[in-house]
Amino acid sequence: MDQDTIAALATAPGEGGIAIVRVSGTDAEALLSRLFAPARAWESHRMYYGHIVYEGETLDECMAVLFRAPRSYTREDVAEIHLHGGSWAAQSVLNALYRLGARPAGPGEFTRRAFLNGRVDLSRAEAVMALISAEGGRAARAALRQLEGGVSGFVRSAQADLIALLSGAAAAIDYPEEITLEEAASDLEAGARRLADKLEAACDERGARIADQGLEAVLCGRPNVGKSSLLNALARQERAIVTDIPGTTRDIIRADVMIEGLRVHFADTAGLREGADAIERIGVDRARQAIAGADVVLAVFNASLPLDNEDRQLLEDTKDAPRIVVLNQCDKEMVLNPADFDDPVVVSAQTGAGLRDLEKRVAAYGAGAGESALTQQRHMILAREAAASLRAAADACARGEAVDLAVIDLQEALASLGRITGEQVDDKMIDEIFERFCVGK
């Protein structure tokens, strides 16, 4: 690892109340002392008031703090300078630091040093960026669990189970008079399958995607059932054009709504009907594609009108999909009987009646999102690789093959789990992970 001193802006660029410049490395204290006035003997973890002065020019009034190693974010000496927000002051201080010998930090280099210095494992380092980029409460809570060691604890537990299996196999090989190879193979097979099941159960790709990217909810129905009005009501703003003319919506109109900490991507689609013109038919095709890829389909019907053939076709086409039947326009005299449908939600996009019930029903399709033990794609891939190796070991035992051959598969499983936490990782993988980080973190 580079032992030089790095510096970068640790807060978002642009105007703001405060801009924080972070410095890490062996020269952090010396650089801070050369710029900060009045001069002082620095006490670790104490904030001081003063000015940043370079070549006789005062760059800004500021607060500064020194964190001496190893009690710092990177386990190196770290200095932080708290300036007035704005691009000029921060960049001026950074330029001064660079001229005095610091170099610009690369993406994620502070967190990378924290990992390489043993302050955090790789999964907790990745959680830092996941928390920064979280766009909803579900994603943030998943990242916090990971940051607090949730993934590390799960992986360590799985590794302990694996090591126990390896120890049992080694004992059978070295001391056949104590335990027969047949008994060892039977124990190894059962234990490997249990652990493989545990690892696979921890991988919830759908839940992880929903927590990170949001839930896809598609509004569909024939023209003029009030889909666009319903989208506007859910979004609390005019996202879609609403008219009495059938076929007004010809493309997919989207609105993002936060419901109970879950980001929901609502999509208003073209009315499903036959005989539309060429442009509208394209919109109908896109609507059908959106329905096929939705996490939940909101099948919308006009409660003040009887069902027609297009309504019945929609009910048939979506009966096996994750679906909520929405009876809209309940502010008018209702013709449709809710009892004739499968657990419908009765709403009025005009008055707002029933909207909260609809939001709760939609959010229920994201229940459990981000709550599995593993929520990042890289971790789930490696866990599944470990599970596959465990099943290969179990199958070898079931076929009566030598136990020492199954041990090879167990060691491969152990290596896969080690790559989650960074115990077994190469420079290329580290580079690929940290290049996704923002500069300054």
Q: Name the pLDDT band for 26 (thresholds 50, 70, 90).
A: very high
The CATH number assigned to the domain holding 239 equals 3.40.50.300
Angle between helices 181-201 and 403-421 (to 10 degrees): 30
Considering 18-27, 115-124, 319-328, 422-431, the range whose residues carry the highest mean pLDDT is 18-27
Domain range enclosing 263: 210-364
In a domain, 430, yes or no: no
Q: Report the distance separating Cα 12 and Cα 33, nearest Å.
A: 25
Neighbour tally for 168: CB within 10 Å? 17
In a domain, 303, yes or no: yes
Q: Name the pLDDT band for 283 (thresholds 50, 70, 90).
A: low
In a domain, 22, yes or no: yes
Q: Report the distance separating Cα 67 and Cα 76, nearest Å.
A: 8
The CATH number assigned to the domain holding 396 equals 1.20.120.430
What residues contact residue 122 under an 8 Å CB cut-off, 6+ apart?
Answer: 115, 420, 421, 422, 425, 430, 433
Q: Hey, what amino acid is at 265?
A: H
Question: Are 130 and 112 contained in the same domain?
Answer: no
Give me the number of domains the chain comprises. Answer: 3
Partner residues linked to 24 by β-bridges? 6, 78
The CATH number assigned to the domain holding 12 equals 3.30.1360.120
Taking residues 348-361, report their average pLDDT: 93
Question: Are 292 and 357 contained in the same domain?
Answer: yes
Question: Are 19 and 97 contained in the same domain?
Answer: yes
Q: Supply the mean pLDDT for the chain.
A: 87
Q: Report the distance separating Cα 309 and Cα 312, nearest Å.
A: 5
Question: Are 216 and 337 contained in the same domain?
Answer: yes
In a domain, 247, yes or no: yes
In a domain, 440, yes or no: no
Question: Are 334 and 300 contained in the same domain?
Answer: yes
In a domain, 52, yes or no: yes
Which of 126-130, 180-184, 190-194 shows the lowest per-residue confidence on average (mean pLDDT)?
A: 180-184
Check whether 186 has a pLDDT greater than 70: yes
Taking residues 212-226, report their average pLDDT: 88
Tokens found for residue 369: 């999102």
Check whether 319 has a pLDDT greater than 70: yes
* Residue-level length of the chain: 441
Question: Are 264 and 160 contained in the same domain?
Answer: no
User: Distance of CA 34 to CAs 30, 52, 66, 284, 370, Å?
Assistant: 6, 9, 13, 67, 47
Q: Report the distance separating Cα 382 and Cα 144, nearest Å.
A: 21
Contact 4, 24 (CB under 8 A): no
Question: Are 349 and 226 contained in the same domain?
Answer: yes
Q: Name the pLDDT band for 247 (thresholds 50, 70, 90).
A: very low
Q: Name the pLDDT band for 362 (thresholds 50, 70, 90).
A: very high
Q: Report the distance separating Cα 154 and Cα 142, nearest Å.
A: 14
How do residues 141-173 score in pLDDT, each as one tens digit?
888 888 888 899 999 999 999 999 998 888 777
Strand ranges (E), 295-419: 296-302, 323-328, 345-346
Question: Are 10 and 114 contained in the same domain?
Answer: yes
Question: Are 37 and 136 contained in the same domain?
Answer: no
Contact 94, 81 (CB under 8 A): no
Check whether 410 has a pLDDT greater than 90: yes
Question: Are 51 and 157 contained in the same domain?
Answer: no
| pTM (predicted TM-score) | 0.72
Q: In the listed set 103, 120, 137, which residue is the last one of a domain according to the structure?
A: 120
DSSP letters for 233-259: HHHTS--S---SSTT---S-EEEEEEE
Give the per-residue pLDDT at 240.
47
Helix count (H) and strand count (E) of the chain?
Answer: 15, 13
Check whether 424 has a pLDDT greater than 90: no
Question: Are 112 and 144 contained in the same domain?
Answer: no
The residue assigned the tokens 């670790």 is: 44
How do residues 40-50 score in pLDDT, each as one tens digit?
999 999 999 99
Give the per-residue pLDDT at 24.
97
Tokens found for residue 245: 């003319």
Q: In the listed set 83, 103, 120, which residue is the last one of a domain according to the structure?
A: 120
Quick one: how far is CA 279 from the chain centroid? 37
Check whether 179 has a pLDDT greater than 60: yes
Q: DSSP character for 372?
A: S
Category of 236 on φ-ψ map: left (φ > 0), alpha (ψ -120 to 50) or beta: left
Burial classification of residue 103, based on how many CB atoms lie within 10 Å of its CB (0-12 exposed, 13-18 middle, 19 or more buried)? middle
Question: Are 260 and 191 contained in the same domain?
Answer: no
